[in-house]
Structure 1
């Protein structure tokens, strides 16, 4: 039986050590690209898009306002007409799949990473990651946080400041901490 690498464990949602040398290098590479994007001439939209397309695993069409940060980049997939205002952070240790026509207000955080509740494991530096899926025609309000393992259905709205720790059905408005259904749209 072949022993899994830390990256393979990460990609499979198994507990892994993010301190692994390869994972550290890949995060550094992504940080460099984010820094390049954030420092890029704002009037050169074509050049900015080129950096994002090189960073992301898949990219339909996207405009992201600086500042943007991610962990790996290659785990991010966005559809057509993706727009993110200033301060988007995507912690993409697992896949982050975003549909078409998605809007992110300033300060949105999407995190696939989590740490164990067991303090002994936490002290060892173990973490795990679970995919996030955001459907099409979703609006994510200012300062909202989407946590690991969450799926947000098409045509939904995540209110400003919401912390989404459970799946959101299609055509739903959620708000609060933790986010709760406000109404069907």
Structure 2
């Protein structure tokens, strides 16, 4: 059986593999089962199946506001609220790992603007993305675990933040950005392409292209 699988993989990919029984179980649990689950979900939503991989216990609100490219993967135990003015667009090859929380609406009268994640971007486990203003994450971004993006900010009122105004400037992360674990990106931020954000950073100001930034608040420590 293993020999047959190795031959099939070699024919498909042109590469040599040495697949053992435990590898087959991993492939089924990690790839085949989510692929079947995604196929069923798309059929139930009257969408054309296109390689969507869907983990267990995923809750998607407002599926009609969700546009899926090819080969999308959403990990188990994720919550995605798509109710927004422009919806959520996940382009080809996007991976959102387990435990993601994506919120586009905070109340009946408070729709967010929308979210776009472009080709081949990877969002690590336990990400939190609050979509007030528009959030755009461009192609080939690699984000580690526990990324937080908050595209909304509050002014302080005389006695509490409840009395203050709300701003939704949005967040843009350009292509080829590498983001470490536990990074927070606040409202109004633009991260330039080919930049690196160090683990544990809180990004409160724009990051120029081809920069390495780190710290709380994040500061540019080197130009690439």
Q: TM > 0.5 between the two?
A: yes
Q: 1:80 & 1:119 partners in 2: Cα distance?
A: 44
- What CA distance in whole angstroms lies between the structure 1 residues aligned with 2:210 and 2:91? 23
Contact 1:57 1:74 in 2 (8 A): no
Please show how residues 9-158 of structure 1 align to structure 2 within 5 Å.
43-45=33-35, 46-48=52-54, 53=67, 55=82, 57-61=88-92, 62-72=94-104, 75-120=114-159, 122-124=161-163, 126-158=165-197
Gaps of 5+ in 2: 1-28, 36-51, 61-65, 69-81, 105-111
Report the CA distance shift for 1:119/1:48 in structure 2 as closer, same or farther (over 3 A). farther
1:117, 1:80 → 2: CA distance? 38
**Structure 1 119/86 Cα, relative in aligned 2: closer, same or farther at 3 Å?**
farther
* Paired positions, count: 145
- Report the secondary structure of 2:161's partner residue: helix
Larger gyration radius, structure 1 or structure 2 = 2
Q: Report the alpha carbon displacement of residue 60 of structure 1 after superposing the two structures with TM.
A: 1.0
- Give the root-mean-square deviation of aligned CA atoms: 2.5
Report runs of 4+ in structure 1 exceeding 6 Å deviation.
none
Instruction: Supply the distance in 1 between the matched residues of 2:91 and 2:113 (Cα, whole angstroms).
Output: 14
2:115 and 2:134 in contact (8 A); partners too: yes
Unaligned ranges ≥5, structure 1 = 1-40
Q: Which structure is richer in relative contact order (CA contacts within 8 A, separation 6 or more)?
A: 1
Contact 2:34 2:54 in 1 (8 A): yes
